[in-house]
A and B are shown apart, each in its own frame.
Chain A
Amino acid sequence: MVPQDLDKQIKEIIARVIELDAGEITPDADFINDLGVDSLKAIEITGAIEKAFRVVVPEEKIRDIRTLNQAVSLTKQLLEAKG
């Protein structure tokens, strides 16, 4: 089941991992260019999302998660696939 506040939950997860105020994470802010996230931090973000929602993010998708919107969209797909 996809939580109604999925966007908010993922924003808070990302904010915690990258140690920024959630307000700074706009839906299309690029993690790398705008928020100072590197590819290693992206692994941690992915791991945090996996643990929060009990999903598995395919390895090839890790580098594709570059914005909050992309993270939400992918998580939503994974949750829907899980049923």
Chain B
Amino acid sequence: MKIIWDKEKVKSILPQREPFLFVDEVIELEEGKRIVARKYLDPELDFFKGHFPGNPVMPGVLTIEAMAQAGILVYVTARPKIVEQNPTYYFGSVNAKFRSPAHPGETLILEAEIFKVANFGGVVDTKARVGDRMVAEARSIFAIKVDPDSNRDFAK
């Protein structure tokens, strides 16, 4: 499948870094509307050791985080200039439903669709799936605060 945004591009937008970066690349993009991203669930990811020993599954809270990161990416396609203003993203609320577990070695497909955006926040509808199997669905609402004078540089 064609990679639209590679990991370096993703890192130029998202402030999260390993081991808390849950988007590897973007594989579909409709600017201002929808993206599809993916995250390979490497069996070596640290959290699998404890969640759970002998029965590793992706923690639901991290699935929500992965969907939220995809949500930020789609938000940025609607408000591209926000990246230049050193934004910080704050979760406002999330309404999630978990459908099935995701396991190490699987690839999480993250779909994020804009419901409504404003300069100070956004509402996105997201889905996480493995192949055709739905893992979770969520509506995420987040706030954005910008700091144009900051010297912070996410790309580093």
Contact = CB atoms under 8 A, between A and B. Distances in A.
Are A and B genuine complex partners? Answer: yes
Given A39-B120, A40-B92, A40-B121, A47 B115 contact: yes
Contacts of A46: 116, 118
Interface string B116-131: 1111111100000000
- Chain B binding surface SS class: strand
A43 B117 contact: yes
Interface string A14-43: 000000000000000000000000111101
Nearest to A40: B92
Contacts, number: 36
B141 interface: yes
Given A40-B143, A43-B121, A50 B92 contact: no
Interface size class for chain B? 10 to 19
B47 interface: no
- Chain A binding surface SS class: helix
B143 to A, nearest CB: 6
B93 interface: yes
A46 B121 CA distance: 12
Interface size class for chain A? 10 to 19
Contacts of B117: 43
A39 B116 contact: no
Nearest to B92: A40
Given A50-B116, A59-B119, 16 more contacts: A39-B120, A39-B121, A39-B143, A40-B123, A40-B141, A40-B142, A41-B92, A41-B93, A41-B141, A43-B118, A43-B122, A43-B123, A44-B115, A44-B116, A47-B123, A51-B115
Q: Which 10 pairs show the lowest CB-CB distances between chains A and B?
A: A47-B116, A40-B92, A47-B115, A44-B123, A40-B141, A40-B121, A43-B118, A43-B116, A43-B123, A62-B118
